[in-house]
């Protein structure tokens, strides 16, 4: 139980995340780390990255510290192939030892893992050794992700074993959608311990988007309708389905340009196909763009492809852009077919092309769908709302009552 003295002095949290700061910088999403204090709810946030490219510790600011364990951890002097295997074997025990010491020394109040596999195992082990409560958040349908990456059996067996072990032992399991919540129940988690924590978006970026002329910026004809594909350029995101729609549309009309915004392992292949299929007048791959620029581009777009998406689907809706997506995973929790967007059966390119054609030919209906999508997305995903949802989860973990929370808020003022 967290006392009022603890609340006044400030709460602290340890995040264990399967990520790497350098890759987050390259993707332009490193700033999201700074949202983990949930609007000042936590005065100290330690962020551990067990799978980093480099072993290092540094402060992002006075609240957030980053601890990364590289491939050379724990024995940096072992550089041979045999040495890498030794590090691989000893790394988990070393990380648990370091994090356990860190939790005790820094007086951490709660531990959160952002995957149910090795990060979840680390969170459980450190929680077991320190008595600090832990939770696990679930951010994707991992089986689907692995299969789309060519792994026919989905999640590796070791990860499946860890997931079955970790999830039932977490004090709270926090999926980002109802869909993933249902999957957690199938993994042995009781419904009483599941709390849905939707993605949060700072809608201010879309209220006053960055002023930019995307036609001039990317040398695009200004009399065309811009169809956006935002996100990582990978098979997981069905980028080739979006490209095929562009190819089919180009055979019938020339009033559009599909703009692929992002980077990823499939970029070179996509660029090659654009050239081979002679689609350069209807397809433009512009690479990675900052969050502010994405908001500016979306504000001038006619519609957005969000075939399998997370933040990009929410952001397209908040921007008031009508979306076309597959009716998979969590999409139908946000998009109601025919009301605030159009959904299509997964992999049905014919229907996908038909829905896009409909929106291109019916601009009034497209605008109306975009307006409804914006209203619904802001209600559900405005960051001030989603942050309060997460704060309530942490209060529950820490045994902080609503009255205590209100009293603390009054003291903070």
In this prediction, residue 78 carries a pLDDT of 56
In this prediction, residue 5 carries a pLDDT of 44
Q: Model confidence over 56-107: pLDDT tens digits?
A: 999 999 999 999 998 877 666 556 565 566 666 778 889 999 999 999 999 9
Q: Model confidence over 162-190: pLDDT tens digits?
A: 999 999 999 999 999 999 999 999 888 99
Sequential DSSP letters for 150-218: T-TT-S-HHHHHHHHHHGGGSSEEEESSHHHHHHHHHTT--GGGB------B-THHHHSPPP--HHHHT
Coil/strand/helix, residue 261: strand
For residue 30, what is the DSSP state?
G
Coil/strand/helix, residue 243: helix
For residue 33, what is the DSSP state?
G
Instruction: Check if the beta carbon of residue 109 is closer than 8 Å to that of residue 132.
Output: yes
In 3-state terms the chain splits into helix, strand, coil percentages (rounded to 5) of 50, 15, 35
**Rounded distance between C-alpha atoms, residue 193 and residue 216, angstroms:** 51
DSSP-H helix ranges across 254-310: 267-276, 291-299
For residue 411 the two structure tokens come to: 């003291």
CB atoms within 10 A of CB 208: 9
**Rounded distance between C-alpha atoms, residue 287 and residue 195, angstroms:** 36
Domains of the chain plus CATH, in order, are: 4-200+382-412 (3.40.50.2000), 204-381 (3.40.50.2000)
DSSP β-bridge partners for residue 111: 14, 134
Element holding 372 (H helix, E strand): helix 363-381
Coil/strand/helix, residue 322: coil
User: Taking residues 19-45, what's their average pLDDT?
Assistant: 90
Specify the residue for token string 């009483």: 192
**Rounded distance between C-alpha atoms, residue 101 and residue 103, angstroms:** 6
In this prediction, residue 153 carries a pLDDT of 84
For residue 75 the two structure tokens come to: 């024995």
**Rounded distance between C-alpha atoms, residue 358 and residue 266, angstroms:** 29
In this prediction, residue 147 carries a pLDDT of 87
Q: Model confidence over 78-92: pLDDT tens digits?
A: 565 655 666 667 788
Dihedral sign, CA of 132, 42, 312, 273? negative
For residue 159 the two structure tokens come to: 């990860």
Question: Which of 284, 247, 282 is closest to 267 using CA atoms?
Answer: 284
Q: Model confidence over 216-266: pLDDT tens digits?
A: 889 999 899 999 999 999 998 999 999 999 999 999 999 999 999 999 999
Peptide bond before residue 74 is cis, with ω within 30 degrees of 0: yes
pTM of the model: 0.86
For residue 341, what is the DSSP state?
B
Residue 28 in this model has a pLDDT that exceeds 80: no
Instruction: Check if the beta carbon of residue 295 is closer than 8 Å to that of residue 312.
Output: no
Residue 9 in this model has a pLDDT that exceeds 70: no
Burial 225-258 (b: 16+ CB within 10 A, else e): bbbbbbbbbbbbbbbbbbbbbbbbbbeeeeebbb
Residue 325 in this model has a pLDDT that exceeds 70: yes
Instruction: Check if the beta carbon of residue 353 is closer than 8 Å to that of residue 245.
Output: yes
Residue 8 in this model has a pLDDT that exceeds 60: no
């Amino acid at each position: 139980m967290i006392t009022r003295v603890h609340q006044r002095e400030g709460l602290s949290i340890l995040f264990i995340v399967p990520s790497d700061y350098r890759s987050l910088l390259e993707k332009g999403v490193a700033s999201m780390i700074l949202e983990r204090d949930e609007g000042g709810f936590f005065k100290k946030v330690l962020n551990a990255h067990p799978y980093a490219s480099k072993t290092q510790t540094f402060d992002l600011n006075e609240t957030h510290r980053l601890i990364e364990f590289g491939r050379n951890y724990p024995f940096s002097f072992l550089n041979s192939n045999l040495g890498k295997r030794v590090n691989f074997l000893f790394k988990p025990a070393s990380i648990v030892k370091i994090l356990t010491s860190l939790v005790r020394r820094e007086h951490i109040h709660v531990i959160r893992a952002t995957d149910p596999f090795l990060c979840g195992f680390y969170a459980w082990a450190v929680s077991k050794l320190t008595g600090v409560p832990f939770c696990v958040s679930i951010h994707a349908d991992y089986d689907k992700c692995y299969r789309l990456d060519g792994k026919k059996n989905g999640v590796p067996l070791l990860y499946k074993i860890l997931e079955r072990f970790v999830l039932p032992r977490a004090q709270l399991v926090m999926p980002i959608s109802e869909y993933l919540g249902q999957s957690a129940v199938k993994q042995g988690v009781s419904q009483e311990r599941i709390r849905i924590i939707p993605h949060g978006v700072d809608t201010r970026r879309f209220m006053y988007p960055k002023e930019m002329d995307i036609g001039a910026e990317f040398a695009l004809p200004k009399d065309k309708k811009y169809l956006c594909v935002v996100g990582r350029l990978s098979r997981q995101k069905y980028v080739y389905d979006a490209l095929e729609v562009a190819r089919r549309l180009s055979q019938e009309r020339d009033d559009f340009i599909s703009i692929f915004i992002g980077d990823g392992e499939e970029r070179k292949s996509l660029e090659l196909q654009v050239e081979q299929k002679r689609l350069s007048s209807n397809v433009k791959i512009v690479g990675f763009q900052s969050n502010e620029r994405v908001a500016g581009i979306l504000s001038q777009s006619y519609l957005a492809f969000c075939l399998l998406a997370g933040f990009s689907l929410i952001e397209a809706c908040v921007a008031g852009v009508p979306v076309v997506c597959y009716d998979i995973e969590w999409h139908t929790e946000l998009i109601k077919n025919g009301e605030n967007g159009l959904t299509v059966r997964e992999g049905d390119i014919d229907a996908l092309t038909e829905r896009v054609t409909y929106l291109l030919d019916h601009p009034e209906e497209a605008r109306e769908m975009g307006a409804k999508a914006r209203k619904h997305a802001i209600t559900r995903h405005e960051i001030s709302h989603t942050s309060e949802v997460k704060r309530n989860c942490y209060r529950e973990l820490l045994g902080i009552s609503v009255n205590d929370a209100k009293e603390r808020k009054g003291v903070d003022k």
